[in-house]
Structure 1
């Protein structure tokens, strides 16, 4: 099975967030670096994941990315 580049990045980001403990909320830039993709691609994918309700992104101090468990 072949995945699109965006789907591959989305899966890697979701897996990375799933491994982190509670209270660890990395920024999009930190996740992009750890997954090894350009920040611009990661930002676009995170935006789409947020729109779909998979990821919650908070801005400012104490913000970051976290998976939503609905």
Structure 2
């Protein structure tokens, strides 16, 4: 299973914001510089994270983004389900586009379906807080990137 870059960037934004105090705002530019990734990509991702209720966005002078909830209230499995556009591991997972002739007798879909469910179940066991176990080290590295 491979997550999209969109989901990867979503998790990176949340991790970055998780290193800050809840009242502290960060800019997309700061985050872009810290990870050395496109600001334009991050703007789209941050917009979606805001629509999903994971972050708060404030426009204008003194604006920025921050977590909308405490890190322990942000479930990683939920974030990934929300940010991924689909979980079509193979063609037969997409009923609208499935052209595979062996679908009616193939056991692969069931096995991959179980594996996907197990994958998501493990992710459901973690919150953003769990990923911030070395918060100080993470904060230090991200700040060095901005220097």
Query: Which of the five TM-score ranges fits, normalised by the shorter chain?
Result: 0.7 to 0.9
Uncovered stretches (5+) of structure 2, i.e. residues with no partner: 74-147
Q: Which has the higher helix share?
A: 2
Q: Distance in 2 between matches of 1:60 and 1:2?
A: 36
Give the TM-score taking structure 1 as reference length: 0.87
Deviations 1:20-69 (A, max 9, x none): 12442111111111122100000010011011011111012332110011
Uncovered stretches (5+) of structure 1, i.e. residues with no partner: none
Kindly tell me the number of residue pairs found equivalent between the two proteins: 70
Give the TM-score taking structure 2 as reference length: 0.44
Instruction: Extract structure 1 runs of 4+ deviating beyond 3 A.
Output: none
Q: Distance in 1 between matches of 2:52 and 2:22?
A: 21
Q: Distance in 2 between matches of 1:58 and 1:34?
A: 20
CA shift at 1:2, angstroms?
1.4
Q: Distance in 1 between matches of 2:61 and 2:68?
A: 19
SS where residue 60 of structure 1 aligns?
coil
Q: Is the 8 A contact 1:13 1:35 kept in 2?
A: no
Could you tell me which residue of structure 2 aligns to residue 30 of structure 1? 30
Root-mean-square deviation (Å): 1.5
Could you tell me which residue of structure 1 aligns to residue 50 of structure 2? 50
- Name which one, 1 or 2, has greater alpha-carbon Rg: 2
